[in-house]
C-alpha cells in the first residue's frame, strides 16, 4: 500500500469521507498542465487553483502522483493506444481511427 492509499484510508477512518470525494472529483477541476506542474513540485501552481482550506501541499502532491498526464492525447478504449485526436462518448475516449472504422462498418 502506497502513501496515498494510507492517507486516503486515514481520512476515511477519521470521518472525512467528503474530503476523499473532493479529491476524487478534483481531476475534473484541475487542468492537465497544472497537474504536470504539481507533479514537478512547482508550488506556484497553488496560486492558480481554488482549493479547500484543508488542502495542504503534501496532500495535493501525493494526489497528483497517482494520476497519469497524457501530453500527446488520451488512451483509446478500443485500441488502447495513446492518440491525440478523437472524441469522448459517455466519458470514454475513442480515437479518430477507431471511430472511422466503426462508422464505415455500418
Mean pLDDT of the chain: 85
User: Do 57 and 85 have their domain in common?
Assistant: no
Structural domain containing residue 97:
74-105
Can you tell me the mean pLDDT for 29-56? 88
On whether both 92 and 47 belong to a single domain, the answer is no
**Same domain (yes/no): 52, 19:** yes
**pLDDT given at position 71:** 57
From CA 84, how far away is CA 72, in angstroms rounded? 5
Specify whether 91 is located in the same domain as 39: no
Judge whether residue 84 has pLDDT over 90: no
pTM: 0.62
Number of domains in the chain: 2
Amino acid at each position: 500500500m502506497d502513501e496515498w492509499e494510507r492517507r486516503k484510508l486515514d481520512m476515511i477512518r477519521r470521518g472525512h469521507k467528503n474530503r476523499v470525494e473532493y479529491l476524487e472529483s478534483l481531476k475534473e477541476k484541475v487542468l492537465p498542465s497544472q497537474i504536470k506542474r504539481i507533479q514537478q513540485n512547482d508550488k506556484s501552481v497553488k496560486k492558480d487553483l481554488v482549493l479547500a482550506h484543508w488542502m495542504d501541499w503534501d496532500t495535493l502532491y501525493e494526489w497528483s502522483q497517482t494520476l497519469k498526464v497524457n501530453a500527446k492525447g488520451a488512451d483509446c478504449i478500443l485500441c488502447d493506444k495513446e492518440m491525440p485526436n478523437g472524441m469522448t462518448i459517455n466519458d470514454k475516449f475513442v480515437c479518430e481511427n477507431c471511430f472511422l472504422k466503426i462508422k464505415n462498418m455500418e
